[in-house]
Amino acid sequence: MNGRNRKRAAGLAALLLLILLTGCGAFYDVRPEEAEETGEDAWTEENGGLVIVGFSQIGSESIWRTANTNSMQRALTKERGYFLIFNNARQKQENQIKAIRSFISQRVDYIVFSPITESGWDTVLEEAKEAGIPVILADRKVDADASLYTTWVGPDTVKEGENAARWLEGNLKEKNRQNDDINIVILQGTLGASSEMGRTAGFVSIAARYHNWHILDCQTGDFTTAKGKEVMQQFLRKYPDIDVVVSQNDDMTFGAIEAIEEAGMTTGIGGDITIISFDAVKEALELVQAGKINVDIECNPEQGEYIEKVIRMLEAGEPVEKEYVVEEKIFTFRNVSQYLDERTY
């Protein structure tokens, strides 16, 4: 048995012990070691070995996050030669750090995680590096030495924020309101998350060019419907003349629309308040089609295939890029209908 397979055997023994002793976590897709080498799966079969991947997800706070998890689970299956260990951090950084240390102790081949916030990862990433385990960042980034992780796969959130502002530029011109005072509130995601920071920075960088765009307030809705509604209610009580809501994910947008409608106002095309949303889950795109959301800037959760491809390249000893940006679209009433039927999340 070579060193790689000794590591994998020890890792599997640790996994089985963890299941017996703790019952914690969720385990997916074990490929039998005697599996036959066939076709595209051959690259995973080193003397019948498994590719063991530990994946720590932020949580299940949104439709988007669930779709992102599903994408990972579809990509890293037993049919493709993976043993996937899934951990739900439930929106707590300490849970993710604990999970990553568990993956290290279990001697997994790869660690994949979507960091809750950008900071606070240096120590645990150093531990993974010392253990010789490649780390792949999914969706969000970390504020750490780039040598501590192998690559990142995710969206360009700064560009997403810029796209939102550019859409607003065009929309105001269409309405001949480019010289009007425009009052804007921003529903931010979890503070310190790279998605929140990027979308805020991207939007604000363009908004700053316009003296008549007034950002009245920015408050976090933690990417949840309930908090989004609560913060929107506060905005409505505090600011009587809101023209635009920039909501940094669809779940917060659902709550914001509820709050606005309960206050006796309308949203979207021809409505009292323009709604700019992010993520583009199917339920939100249906509201785009209905005219209640003006524009939805896609954040693509289908990142599993990208990550699987990166792992395949690493297994083959091929070099990988430091960053891989997933493809994304912008949805409005004009184009959304052609995409709704194919939307799976």
DSSP reduced 3-state for 144: coil
Mean pLDDT over the full length of the chain: 89
CB burial class (10 A; 0-12, 13-18, 19+) of residue 175? exposed
In-domain check, residue 345? no
Same structural domain for residues 146 and 201?
Answer: no
In this predicted structure, the answer to whether residue 22 has a pLDDT above a threshold of 50 is no
In-domain check, residue 330? no
Same structural domain for residues 93 and 134?
Answer: yes
DSSP reduced 3-state for 73: helix
State the total domains in the chain.
Answer: 2
Half-sphere exposure for 196 (CA within 13 Å, toward CB): 19
pLDDT at 39: 31
Q: Which two tokens stand for residue 18?
A: 């963890």
* Residue pLDDT, tens place only, 197-242: 999 999 999 999 999 999 999 999 999 999 999 999 999 999 999 9
Same structural domain for residues 106 and 191?
Answer: no
Closest to 244 (Cα-Cα) out of 337, 177, 190: 177
Residue 82, domain CATH? 3.40.50.2300
Same structural domain for residues 203 and 218?
Answer: yes
In-domain check, residue 235? yes
What share of the chain in percent tops pLDDT 70? Answer: 86
In-domain check, residue 342? no
Cα separation, 189 vs 167, whole angstroms: 20
Task: Go through the chain and tell me how many residues it has.
Answer: 345
* Residue pLDDT, tens place only, 181-207: 999 999 999 999 999 999 999 999 999
Q: What is the 3-state secondary structure (H, E, C) of 162-223?
A: HHHHHHHHHHHHHCCCCCCCEEEEEEECCCCCHHHHHHHHHHHHHHCCCCCEEEEEEEECCC
Averaged pLDDT, 268-281: 98
SS3 content of the chain, % helix, strand, coil (to 5): 45, 20, 35
pLDDT at 200: 98
In-domain check, residue 333? no
Distances (CA, A) of 306 to 82, 188, 336: 15, 27, 25
Same structural domain for residues 81 and 206?
Answer: no
Same structural domain for residues 294 and 307?
Answer: no
In-domain check, residue 34? yes
In-domain check, residue 257? yes
In-domain check, residue 332? no
In this predicted structure, the answer to whether residue 248 has a pLDDT above a threshold of 80 is yes
pLDDT at 17: 41
Cα separation, 105 vs 17, whole angstroms: 12
Cα separation, 275 vs 62, whole angstroms: 19
Same structural domain for residues 7 and 147?
Answer: yes
In this predicted structure, the answer to whether residue 89 has a pLDDT above a threshold of 50 is yes
Same structural domain for residues 199 and 295?
Answer: yes
Structural domain harbouring 307: 3-154+302-325
* Residue pLDDT, tens place only, 24-83: 333 333 332 222 222 333 334 443 478 999 999 999 988 999 999 999 999 999 999 999
pLDDT at 49: 79
Same structural domain for residues 22 and 164?
Answer: no
- Which bin fits 330, alpha (ψ -120 to 50), beta or left (φ > 0)? beta
Same structural domain for residues 165 and 139?
Answer: no
Same structural domain for residues 91 and 221?
Answer: no
Same structural domain for residues 148 and 13?
Answer: yes
